[in-house]
């Protein structure tokens, strides 16, 4: 199994090899208490299966709670966001594209080397640069505030 990567709060571990763009990428994700993923979109389809805990997802119109055994399938180019408002870790099984797996590898850092707390400005800048180079859309602070996520 591959190492656990911190991707600005959430943690990702690849369960399948990143071989070519014709295959899928299977990952295990962990979202700690209070951690959120701001609104964004990308052409990659993502499917999430909740293994433990409870997480909220915003997929274009409202926040919906997903619990153990629930599945959320997000088509490509759909704006979405995540937040863990509970005091428990959430564990997810994630299926997506190899491109998405490569993106996580490029922005991620070994989890055991990342200090607790919010990401450092340099890590955020690196994330934005890489996300834009992949063609991903990132919501503005106002976009995020509209759905209840406060950045910075």
CATH of the domain at 49: 2.60.120.10
Q: What is the pLDDT of residues 26-37, one digit of tens each?
A: 999 999 999 999
- Whether residue 152 lies inside any domain: the answer is no
> Is 21 within the bounds of a domain?
yes
Q: What is the predicted pLDDT for the residue at 1?
A: 63
Residue 61 within a domain: yes
**Is 126 within a domain?**
yes
80 in a domain, yes or no? yes
Q: Considering its fold, how many domains does the chain have in total?
A: 1
For all residues of the chain together, what is the average pLDDT?
94
Indicate whether 133 belongs to any domain.
yes
Edge-to-edge strand list for the sheet holding 63-67: 63-67, 54-58, 80-83, 36-41, 137-138
Compute the Cα dihedral for 37, 39, 40, 44 and give only its sign.
positive
89 lies in some domain: yes
Q: Is the dihedral of CA 124, 126, 129, 132 positive or negative?
A: negative
Mean per-residue pLDDT for 46-55? Answer: 98
pLDDT per residue over 92-138, tens digit each? Answer: 999 999 999 999 999 999 999 998 888 888 999 999 999 999 999 99
Q: Domain residues for 104?
A: 4-147
């Amino acid at each position: 199994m591959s190492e656990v990567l911190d991707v600005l709060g959430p943690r990702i571990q690849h369960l399948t090899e990143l071989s070519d763009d014709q295959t899928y990428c299977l990952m295990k994700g962990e979202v700690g208490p209070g951690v959120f993923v701001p609104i964004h979109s990308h052409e990659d389809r993502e499917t999430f299966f909740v293994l433990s805990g409870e997480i909220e997802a915003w997929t274009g119109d409202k926040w919906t709670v997903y619990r153990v055994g629930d599945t959320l399938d997000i088509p490509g180019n759909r704006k979405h966001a995540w937040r863990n408002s509970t005091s428990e870790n959430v564990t997810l099984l994630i299926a997506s594209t190899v491109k998405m797996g490569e993106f996580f590898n490029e922005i991620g850092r070994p989890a055991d080397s990342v200090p607790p707390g919010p990401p450092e400005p340099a890590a955020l800048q690196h994330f934005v640069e890489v996300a834009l180079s992949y063609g991903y859309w990132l919501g503005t602070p106002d976009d995020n505030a509209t759905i209840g996520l406060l950045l910075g």
